[in-house]
Amino acid sequence: MTTRPILTTESGAPVADNQNSQSAGPGGPLLIQDQQLLEKLARFNRERIPERVVHARGSGAFGHFEVTEEVSRFTRAAFLAEPGRRTEVFVRFSTVAGGLGSGDAVRDPRGFAVKFYTEEGNYDLVGNNTPVFFLRDPLKFPDFIHSQKRDPFTGVQEPENVWDFFSHSPEATHQFTWLFGDRGIPASYRHMHGFGSHTYQWVNAEGEAFWVKYHFKSDQGIRTLTAEQAAELHGRDPDSHQRDLHSAIERGLFPSWTLYVQIMPVAEAATYRFNPFDLTKVWPHADHPLVKVGRLTLDRNPDNVFAEVEQAAFSPNNFVPGIGPSPDKMLQGRLFAYGDAHRYRLGVNHTQLPVNAPRATQAANYGRDGAMRADGNGRRARNYEPNSFGGPVETGVPLAAGVELSGVTGSYRNPVHAEDDDFVQAGALYRVMSEAERERLTANIAASLAQVPDDAIVARAVAHFTAADHDYGFRVETAVKALRG
């Protein structure tokens, strides 16, 4: 007969009765001396931490990344050093606008965040399932998210708010074309691509720098849902994408993605035909073909969703030697905002949580104290640097290369390039779609836009689509008029 462990309080004392509260006699009031009752209720009240403002609804899994091609001529990052090198990873997928209790099968971009546990520290690549984004400047991001979230008066998401913000933000036309197209609702997390979206810097051992964009291509292929299929699935199983990912891995159907990068020599950026650091634009493959790097495979589900998915913290500021940031304004804003969000949600010591801690190396710094410090807090070691007592020291070797700067400080819209435009790439995307895809795209947009009562907002939104392609705008306008009667 197996001996079961003894139930204890948080302090380790045995619990005599976990079914009945202590009271003043069989029918009397409860006693404040009942430690088990008070401790259970107090802990229950504190089980939830603040949910993420964006990307609250998410799923995750562990796996590995294996280099299959030689790319060391572009970066000195150790985990990319040679074919055959494997690195443990954790990947979190998510929707953007919905809260923690929202459904999976909704029209929304999907987060695609990868944490590489490398021997030089953790490298976080935080992207989406689209190669572009709605904005190019982080100053607009809080307003954008407010327009997508619940209205402060009605308490629900208002199409008028969504389209009003868009009508004043023409740079979002490209992303809206992605969002309302077929890929706006992936059939599962396994059947969508992932993108770093931003431009990053790679630096090789000789100090030569390159600008790069990441593309994770799903080896399962692309599968999407129509608006009608998504509505049916959402009503039947709000947890559809979480269930699919977990079930596939449990069955041994390990999802994988092949990683490619686009590479641009640093010197080319200044004279490129549009701003290569503009997050609302893609680099055409004809200009910068895809270069294969390796394969990402997910093969293990988390043992505990709260510990390893909800508490997972990704920050695009977590770089390793040979990889660094670019002047992409949205990326620059996120370098601060992501880490700050985690310090608010999880505390200053969130990097000690197992899912966030380095695995192939150890953190060594002078960070001390703070709520929920779970290790020895540096023990007897000095907590300052420089010191004379053998503490960790700097390398003097930058992780990435410096960027040459010029000009006067101030608020600027964008560096000027020959083909900077908010509509060209949205129009190009529309024109490569099949006739059926265009019909679904414009119908999806019209179904949402027709709910907006303000004619001026509708007119401004339609004007953006018309600027991208005349037929695009005409179809949206016609469909909206038909729906509004």
Catalytic center residues: 55, 128
Burial label for 393, CB within 10 Å (0-12, 13-18, 19+), is: exposed
Nearest to 74 by CA among 213, 209, 216: 209
Contact indicator for 185, 225 with CB cutoff of 8 Å: yes
Strand partners for 265: 210
Question: Coil, strand or helix: which one is 258?
Answer: strand
Cis peptide before 302 (omega within 30 of 0): no
Structure tokens at 343: 């310090």
| Euclidean distance between CA atoms 476 and 459, whole angstroms | 11
Rg (CA), the chain: 25
| Euclidean distance between CA atoms 121 and 116, whole angstroms | 8
With residues binned 3-state (H G I as helix, E B as strand, rest as coil), the percentages for the chain, rounded to 5, are: 30, 15, 50
Question: Coil, strand or helix: which one is 150?
Answer: strand
Given the structure tokens 């001529």, which residue do they identify?
73
Structure tokens at 452: 């907006």
Three-state SS string across 275-329, please? CCCCCCCCCCCCCCCCEEEEEEEEEECCCCHHHHHHCCCCCCCCCCCCEECCCCH
| Euclidean distance between CA atoms 95 and 186, whole angstroms | 11
| Euclidean distance between CA atoms 256 and 58, whole angstroms | 18
Q: Which residues of 129-160 are buried (b: 16+ CB within 10 A; e: fewer)?
A: bbbbbbbbbbebbeebeebbbeeeeeeeebbb
Cα–Cα distances in angstroms (integers) from residue 79 to residues 63, 186, 209, in the given order: 15, 30, 18
In angstroms, the first-to-last Cα distance of the chain is: 74
